[in-house]
Structure 1
Amino acid sequence: MSVMTLKCENLVKQYKDKRALGNVSLTLEKGKIYGLIGRNGAGKTTLLSVLTAQNPATHGTVTLNGQPVWENEASLSHLCFSREINANMNAGGIGALKIKEYLKMAETYMPHWDKEMAEHLLDIFHLDRKKRISKLSKGMTSMVTIIVALASKADFTLLDEPVAGLDVVAREQFYRILLEEYTETGRTFVISTHIIEEAADLFEEVIILHEGKMVLKENTQELLESCVHVSGREEDVDAATAGLTKYREETIGRSKSVTVKLEPGQRVEAADSVSVQPMNLQKIFVAMCGGEV
């Protein structure tokens, strides 16, 4: 039996004079946890919204098991995109709803909704069911979006910055609950986050977006094993890394440091004056996409 897949091909999203996504092709398989990382404005939220048909593509296709997602109820029943509740809605509309009313509304759109799980998560997060959405703190609204994501029971559940505003205890609760749900059900989760290192252990695969383009999609452990930080005297570093794929070369005086991504069979040539150190996911991301995380 083939594995269920959510796939986009040559995806382009254009907003007037701004291209948010440029020819992104990506296949997500059921039964994995993906990490989606990128700088602000990289196109992460746009990608997630187009994959789940909440936003139309300008060009390209999105399919679930070969069937189109756009305006296809059968495909959409397997998808959930849980995103930040828009603060502009808080004065009226959604903001005027109580938490229990908001979840009831979510239930009407989610054919596989698990009401018992939603109630259990409300208790875990100590949320007052009668409190209005407009009166919630940033962390509390994130908890509500997490409840929608998990209780949806959708085969492909995409979460945009789910831990925004959560304290460290609540974040650890979320990671634990997500991992338990994944282990029990085999659902696919895509987590877009800026808190990279904290969530890195969850990610079976990592997807890096930069300026609307996909930089890589790779097994997280294999990526960590293939990237090293090389430093030492400039001429020795250059000799040790000749012909290798390099990112973020920095020179201070006669010293140089560089991030190297090794392909299978490649290695950094050893030298007494050259230091080769492993890297964590956050440092790899910074090296590839530049600037601060």
Structure 2
Amino acid sequence: MENKMEAIICSNVNKSYGKKEVLKNIDFTLEKGKIYGLIGRNGAGKTTLLSILSAQNPATEGNVTWNGEKIWENRKALDHICFSRELSTNLYGSGVSSLKVKEYLKNASYYYPNWDQKMADELIEKFELNTKQRINKMSKGMLSMVTIIVALASKADFTFLDEPVAGLDVVMREYFYHKLMEEYTETGRTFVISTHIIEEAADLMEEVIMIKDGSLLLKENTQDLLERSYHVSGLAEVVDQAAEGYEKHHEEKMGRSKSVTILLKEGQELPKGYDVTIQPISLEKLFVSLCGLDD
């Protein structure tokens, strides 16, 4: 199957609202045929970044390109990009909230040229959605179902999802992850998933993009990142000796004991010969270490 989309390149993107800087010097490339996880704390700038990558919001400085073409006001580029935004009460009064589900999805089908109505119908049935219900009468979980339908049925080469499983129970979350992976395997589409439920989605993420305070903290292959991330614990003075010379994050003391997260750099090996406990770390724990309150 031909994948027309080669890459989206985000070049030196800044976004400010008045004097408030929301995004600062964001540079990265989204390659075709990957699932990316976009993670960061509330207010880090994730939703703003996705809205700029999909030309729903202009950057204050910098450019976003698709196949070398700027995406802003470029219909050809936007035909390949879908940002299925999280539906919530902040849309009330916008005209969207009074639409029935079937009207909202009909509008989406006009907007996305590769819309797959068969898939949309299948998902409606699976989610047991009442398409005659109005958006403003729906629960958070139902709203998530609608955003998932738009994202998957859009068939856009690059598809961005913002908190897609918010309000869904564990059975429906598992179904979504399965359906996403099935669609990715069959089509080679690229997905960017922004989520706070990190551990559940970690296995889907080939690469992780971590945003902290509006800046790009890292963009790395998820497995490679986890293979160089470790939790070291033991007596404080021994942990300090063992962690000397490593990139350290999230040091915690409790009495005479201490723990710290270390990240190995290229060529570095784990500390040896120290009476400390060294354990692998999950993506969620690593995120807390890198973006926690005290770091």
Letter of the 1:259 partner, please give it: T
Find the aligned partners of 2:4 and 2:237 in 1 and give their Cα distance: 51
1:190-269 equivalence runs, <5 A: 190-269=192-271
Question: Whole-Å Cα distance in 2 between the matches of residues 135 and 6 of structure 1?
Answer: 36
Whole-angstrom CA distance in 2 between matches of 1:170 and 1:253: 44
1:96 shift after superposition: 1.6
Distance in 1 separating the partners of 2:37 and 2:276: 32
Partner of 1:96: helix, strand, or coil? Answer: coil
Q: Which residues of structure 1 form unaligned runs of 5+?
A: none
- Aligned residue pairs: how many? 292
Task: Please give the residue correspondences for 1:182-193 in structure 2 after superposition, counting only pairs within 5 Å.
Answer: 182-193=184-195
Alignment of 1:262-281 (within 5 A): 262-281=264-283
In structure 2, what is the Cα distance between the partners aligned to 1:247 and 1:170?
Answer: 35
Deviations 1:120-175 (A, max 9, x none): 11001110111111111100000000000000000000000001111111100100
Mapping of 1:102-121 within 5 angstroms? 102-121=104-123
Q: How does 1:1-293 map to 2 (within 5 A)?
A: 4-90=6-92, 93-291=95-293
2:242–2:274 contact (8 Å) kept in structure 1: no
1:163 aligned partner, one-letter code: V
Amino acid at match of 2:290: M
Structure-2 change in CA distance of 1:2 and 1:235 (3 Å): farther
Local SS of the residue matching 1:84: coil
CA shift in 2, pair 1:3/1:109, >3 Å: closer
The structural deviation recorded for 1:58 is: 0.1
CA contact (8 A) 1:99 1:133 kept: yes
Name the aligned partner's letter for residue 271 of structure 1.
G
After TM superposition, the score normalised by the length of structure 1 is: 0.96
CA contact (8 A) 1:122 1:147 kept: yes
RMSD across aligned positions (CA): 1.5
Aligned partners of 1:91 and 1:134 also within 8 Å: no
* Residues 155-203 of structure 1, C-alpha deviations (whole Å, 9 max, x = no match): 0000000011111111001000000000000000000000000110000
Measure the CA separation in 1 of the matches of 2:136 and 2:36.
31
% identity of equivalent residues = 61
**1:88 positional shift:** 3.7
After superposition, what is the alpha-carbon deviation per residue over 1:12-35, rounded to whole angstroms, capped at 9, x for unaligned? 000012111000001001100000
Cα distance, 1:100–1:289 mapped onto 2, change above 3 Å: same
**3-state SS in 2 of match to 1:263:** coil
Distance (Å, rounded) in 2 between the aligned partners of 1:91 and 1:208: 33
SS in 1 for 2:97: helix
Indicate conservation of the 8 Å contact 1:38/1:210, yes or no.
Answer: yes
TM-fit CA distance, 1:271: 3.1
